[in-house]
Structure formats: C-alpha cells, structure tokens
Amino acid sequence: MVNAHPPYMDGCDDILTSLDDSHVLTITINRPKARNALRTQLLHEIAQTLDKATSDDNVRCVVLTGGDKVFAAGADITEMADKTSVGVLQDPRANHWRTIRDFPKPMIAAVNGFCLGGGNELAMHCDILIAGKNAQFGQPEINLGIIPGAGGTQRLTAMIGKSKAMRLVLSGEFLSAEDAERAGLVSEVCEPELTLEKATALARKIASKAPVAARLAKESVLKASDGLLAEGIAFERKAFALLFATDDKSEGVSAFMEKRKPNFKGH
C-alpha cells in the first residue's frame, strides 16, 4: 500500500518516500545490509525530504520507519574512523539534525528491531513512537569510546528519567519494547508486522485534524522540554567532539570494524 504511490522525493539512494491520499508522507530508511546505519548521505536525504515537506500543504503528518527488521543501528561507524574533533565540529550532519529537529509537522516513528545510537536519537526526534515487540532501544556509543552526539543524553533523560537513561548511556545495554513502553519512550507496542500499519493509521487520524492547530500543538508540547534541553545538548555536542581526540575512540571504532572487543586505556 505504501509503495503504491510514486516516490515523493527523487534521487534518493538510502530512503524510500511515498505520499498517500490522506496527506501522510512515509519515509523508509533503506540500507538493510548496514542495518540502516545513518551515513551522512542518508541523513541528508531525510533532511531534504523534510525540507520539501515543510512547505508542501499536501503533507500533514510524517511516518518514519526502517521497515520490518531494523529501525537504524546508529551513525555509520565506518565514517567515524578518520574523523577528528575539528571534523566533528564542522560536520554537515549537525545541519541535517537541525532540519530534522525543526520539522514543524507531526512525525511518528514506526520502530521494529534495533533502534540504537543515532537511530534512537532519530526516533526521539519524532513526536510519537510506536514499536514492534522486536524493537530494542539503546545508546551503545560508550562501546566505541564516545557518547551520544545528537541530543541523546538529554532527550532520553527527559523521556525515561535519570536512572534508566544513565544505565543505557553508561552500560550500552538495550531496552526492550515492553520496557521502553513502561518507561514512557514509546506510546504503543504491537506485533512487528503491524507497526507500520498502526503508525500510518495514527498519522492519518492526525492528518485529518486542522493542520495549523496540529503544528501549534506540536510546538506547544515541545516547549515543555526543548528549551530546558538546549544547554545540555550544546554541552553534549562539545563533549562528543572532544572524545574524537582520544585514543579510546580510535580503539572503539577499530574494534567494531575488526569485530573484536575494545581494549580501552583511558586516554
């Protein structure tokens, strides 16, 4: 059903896009071989699509999904190998994240499978999360010798509380779909084959409401937390960049690519 319409955005390699007759735009992350890892091009394609959708009255609600098996396994770790602290500070990814953050229309994440690192941060940029029972949420950046860099430390803490957020960020453990629902990260858990259907049905309901009211409702709800998070997000970003100067980051990224355990030294 989703693919019955022509692509909404031409020229994308990493995402599929489709706008239905109910004003719902579906964006499907489509790099299954790399577990939907968010390489820079992919983030750029999402940002470009949302940019177009912002000024398109035909789009009233967006569903963002990674398909049946995986939402996204985070940033593309192979892109991190040669990146320096200065490279992080100048990274175009920050602009793409800003576009995603500033998207003014309601956006729902339909999450199946792994939703990790930048993938979880992307899901948390959405306004409502619906998860399949097979979903697993986490911020495992610590395993690479780094920390979340797109607001994860702040948004996760706001959504699930300090103790649970600390546990995820410090240990790299994952949260099951049921635990994520109990913690308030997701609004509904369902069978994985129903996740997109449920998210689309909710998106259609939202798209039938008054569009200006929906935009202002989103903006108002975000005011409850976003302003308070801004300082923490700026701090996190600098700390993230600083960690790219450490040997432990090089070791963590090398260990992932060589499929072995990292040996962190503390410098």
Give contact residues for ligand DAK (rule: CB under 6 A): 34-35, 37, 73-78, 88, 91, 93-94, 97, 114, 116-118, 140-141, 143-144, 149-150
- Give whichever of 35 and 44 is closer to ligand DAK, judged by the CB atom: 35
| Cα–Cα dist 248/245, whole Å | 9
Under a CB-based contact definition with an 8 Å cutoff, are residues 150 and 229 in contact? no
- Give whichever of 43 and 130 is closer to ligand DAK, judged by the CB atom: 43
* 121 is an active site residue: yes
| Cα–Cα dist 158/136, whole Å | 19
Specify the amino acid at residue 255.
Answer: A
Specify the amino acid at residue 12.
Answer: C
Position with the least CB separation from ligand DAK: 117
Write out the E strands in 81-172: 107-111, 114-116, 128-132, 136-138
- Residue 45: helix, strand or coil by DSSP? helix
| Cα–Cα dist 216/213, whole Å | 5
CB atoms within 10 A of CB 228: 11
| Cα–Cα dist 232/148, whole Å | 12
Count of all residues that appear for the chain in the document? 267
CB of 189 to ligand DAK, least distance (A): 20
Under a CB-based contact definition with an 8 Å cutoff, are residues 251 and 263 in contact? yes
- Give whichever of 2 and 89 is closer to ligand DAK, judged by the CB atom: 89
The dihedral over CA atoms of 174, 175, 177, 180, expressed in degrees to the nearest 10, equals: -150
- Give whichever of 35 and 164 is closer to ligand DAK, judged by the CB atom: 35
- Residue 244: helix, strand or coil by DSSP? coil
- Give whichever of 150 and 186 is closer to ligand DAK, judged by the CB atom: 150
CB of 95 to ligand DAK, least distance (A): 9
Find the catalytic residue in 72, 109, 141, 150: 141
CB of 33 to ligand DAK, least distance (A): 6
Find the catalytic residue in 47, 75, 110, 207: 75
CB of 117 to ligand DAK, least distance (A): 3
Find the catalytic residue in 118, 132, 149, 252: 118
Under a CB-based contact definition with an 8 Å cutoff, are residues 80 and 257 in contact? no
- Give whichever of 8 and 97 is closer to ligand DAK, judged by the CB atom: 97
CB of 257 to ligand DAK, least distance (A): 7
* 117 is an active site residue: no
* 173 is an active site residue: no
| Cα–Cα dist 201/63, whole Å | 10
CB of 114 to ligand DAK, least distance (A): 4
The residues annotated with a catalytic role in the active site are 75, 118, 121, 141
